[in-house]
Amino acid sequence: MDRRLILLLLCCLLLLPLAGCWNAKELDDLSIASMIAIDKTDDTYEISAQIINPAQNVEEERTDRSPVATHRVTGDSVFEGLRRLTTDIPRKLYLAHIRVIVISEKIAEEDFAEVLDFFFRDHQVRTDFFVLISRDQQAKEILKVLTRVEEIPAEKVFSSITFSEENWAPTKGMQIDDIVEQLVLDGDNPVVTGIRVVGDKEIGGRREHVETIEAQAVLQLQNLAAFREGKLVGWMTEDQSKGYNYTLGNVQSTLGVIPCNDGTLTFEVIRSESSIEAKVINGKPQIDVNISTEGNIAEVTCAIDLSDPHTIEKLEKEIADDIKTISMDSIVQAQTEFRSDIFGFGEDIRRADPSYWKSVKNDWNTQFEDLHVNVNVDFSIHHTGTLTESFIYEKKK
């Protein structure tokens, strides 16, 4: 009898894996959101959700419909707006596959953290999406444009951030974990990449837009927005955005152009590292930023002999000076215009001298304005290409 009971129990245990997930959802029951835009009028939030059309994204079932559809509702809170979407769409909104959240510049200037609370709190939402600020436009405008290479606009924006961060440098992919961490630290403030529609927004939303050779509207990334105490306080220029990333060692690869006799010389950065040393000397904090970079000569439109070691040495110094200039410019902008420690220097000082930090942390943004920062840059040229001189000037000789 005991043996039969044991066998019965074993059979029951073997059947458990066949039961499936208790909370599994069929795709046919879900509306999968890929991108969310949040605007605000007075005290009311306007939530726009871009929903993937599953049939249009399966080869065997393709139709002439758009690959995505955008739905828009209002609510007194972000969550209320998202839940109210059920009156507009026939299926439950599924947020686990969000790739991008776009927040309006107006909201970012008032209280950025408020709209992030739901997405950070909700267990269904993963945290691997990018957060962007719509620059000079309402966030909902971003969701109106269809894209070319990637059929789903959210995938295009997600990829653009990733590749721009890796190959250009004036942008930074910020996920919600990164932003929240910097918002709660006393000695740090976040930056967030901007985005806007460039071109004809009306045409950009039509299906025929993606069937023509020339794009009439594109979604373009727009440098970095700086925050202080959870509110947007200003935008960096393209060079300042690069300088920010050089300072913090975020640059993987980028380009720069310097004057060269009667033309220009373009260099490509292939490696960049940064180390930050904080110290307190005679009661005064100081930051030393050491940037080490390597690169190649990419383009030459001037008369210069790249076979001469003295020329290479001079170029290395000029390029290092150029990187130092844009890095210092970003720091000065943060100290004088933003009055916000977007570099996290306060956190470096806290680790270096906790007792000093305790005395200044409550007034750090003010203290940051007078912080002494040294930037040292070393640049090493690896390759100059197959030519030692520009072929244009070779022909002129």
Which is more confidently placed, 16 or 365? 365
- Average pLDDT in the 185-195 region? 94
Q: Does residue 393 carry a pLDDT above 70?
A: no
Residue-wise pLDDT for 79-93, tens only, equals 999 999 888 887 788
pLDDT tens column, 220-271:
999 999 999 999 999 999 999 999 999 999 999 999 999 998 899 999 999 9
Mode of pairing for the β-strands spanning 130-134 and 100-104 = parallel
Rounded CA separation 236/241 (Å): 6
Express each pLDDT in 311-352 by its tens digit: 999 999 999 999 999 999 999 999 999 999 999 999 999 999
How far the first Cα of the chain sits from its last, in Å, is 104
Q: At 321, list the tokens.
A: 């000076």
- pLDDT band at residue 59, thresholds of 50, 70 and 90? low
Confidence of residue 22 (pLDDT cuts 50, 70, 90): very low
CATH level 3 topology of 237-397 = GMP Synthetase; Chain A, domain 3 (3.30.300)
Rounded Cα–Cα distance for residues 73 and 59 (Å): 31
- pTM reported for the whole predicted model: 0.89
Return the bridge partners of 277, or none: 288
Beta bridge partners of 31: 93
Q: Are 244 and 191 in contact (CB under 8 A)?
A: yes
Identify the DSSP state of 298: E
- Give 276-293 pLDDT, tens digit per residue: 999 999 999 999 999 999
Which two three-digit tokens encode residue 176? 């919600």
CA distance 212 to 332: 45
Q: Give the percent of the chain with pLDDT over 90.
A: 70
* Residue 46 near residue 40 (C-beta atoms within 8 A): yes
Strand partners of residue 231: 228
Going from the C-alpha of 387 to that of each of 104, 222, 265, 299, 391, the distances in angstroms are 49, 35, 13, 10, 8
Distance CA 74, CA 81 (A): 5
In this prediction, residue 72 carries a pLDDT of 94
Residue in the block written with tokens 């001079």: 314
Rounded Cα gap, residues 154 and 179, in angstroms: 20
Q: What CA–CA distance (Å, rounded) separates 163 from 9?
A: 55
Residues with Cβ < 8 Å from 11, sequence gap 6 or more? none
Distance from C-alpha of 358 to C-alpha of 353, rounded to nearest angstrom: 9
Name which residue leads in pLDDT, 215 or 74.
Answer: 74
**Do 96 and 128 contact (CB within 8 A), yes or no?**
no
**Domain range annotation of the chain:** 27-235, 237-397
Identify the H or E element spanning 131: strand 130-134
Residue with tokens 């300072």: 247
280 Cα distance to chain centroid: 32
